[in-house]
Structure 1
Amino acid sequence: MATNYAKYSQLINASTNYARRMKRLSNRIFGEVAIPTNPKSMKVVKIFSERPLHTNEEIIHYYPKHVETHALILKLRDYGLFRDEHQDFKDEMKRLRELRGKVKVWKRHLEEKKE
């Protein structure tokens, strides 16, 4: 004696028009691909069925802590353990500007000196 589920599975595997329509409906209900498709389209289906990237912890915390890293690099540069060529260049340009007497005077600095 066959159970109702066995009868349903036999009906789904049959090649009748009704069986095909029921198979498509079942696939739509359970979130599967309704109509058989090629592997390239299945790749898109797989991508959309995965967890969204903005909720993935590995992607959210991928980049290092930039502020802390920058502060560490500045401290290492003060100790002479790290060479920042761009900052060295900016410091040299500032030094040469001071030697030529072309120092920029900011209003904010003038107010601080008065106090």
Structure 2
Amino acid sequence: MNKYVEIMKVGTQYAKHMEFLRNRIFVEVARNTNEKSMKVVRMFSEEPVQKREMITNWYPRHVETYVLMKKLREYGLFRDEHEDFKEEMKRLRKLRGKSAPKKGEGKRSKK
């Protein structure tokens, strides 16, 4: 193995060709490039942004949290003042007689 490493270090035409092939096989940059081109190579070799765990799980799970809070509210372990307010407004509207009529008791059925 050491013999091949020493051959690669020598600047012969064979060594250059073998290094070129090795770079092509192992998906590295085959020819020497400038720093600007290497930046593009590094950018495309990274994992895409939409597949990164940190990006995809950035925001909390709103749907699951909402369902959990709704269940806790039913059990009386969580107090949601906004939902309480909405229920109170529905109750008061019903007391004033402003709620929607039941099915079959609307204006069209009376005609």
User: What TM-score, normalized to structure 1?
Assistant: 0.51
Shift of 1:65: 9.2
Structure 1's 16 and 96: CA in aligned 2 closer, same or farther, altered over 3 A? farther
Structure 1's 65 and 96: CA in aligned 2 closer, same or farther, altered over 3 A? closer
- Which residue of 28, 31, 53 corresponds with 2:51? 53
Structure 1's 13 and 98: CA in aligned 2 closer, same or farther, altered over 3 A? same
Matched, 1:74 2:70: yes
RMSD: 4.0
| Number of positions where the alignment pairs a residue of Structure 1 with one of Structure 2 | 97
- Which residue of 29, 32, 52 corresponds with 2:28? 32
Where structure 2 has 5 or more consecutive residues not aligned to the other structure, the ranges are 105-111
One-letter amino acid of the counterpart of residue 93, structure 2: R
Structure 1's 83 and 24: CA in aligned 2 closer, same or farther, altered over 3 A? farther
SS at match of 1:33: coil
What is the rounded CA distance, in whole Å, between the counterparts of 1:97 and 1:77 in structure 2?
Answer: 23
Aligned to 2:89: 93
Q: Report the identity percentage.
A: 45
What is the rounded CA distance, in whole Å, between the counterparts of 1:36 and 1:90 in structure 2?
Answer: 68
SS at match of 1:107: coil
Where structure 1 has 5 or more consecutive residues not aligned to the other structure, the ranges are 109-115
| Runs of 4+ displaced beyond 6 Å | none
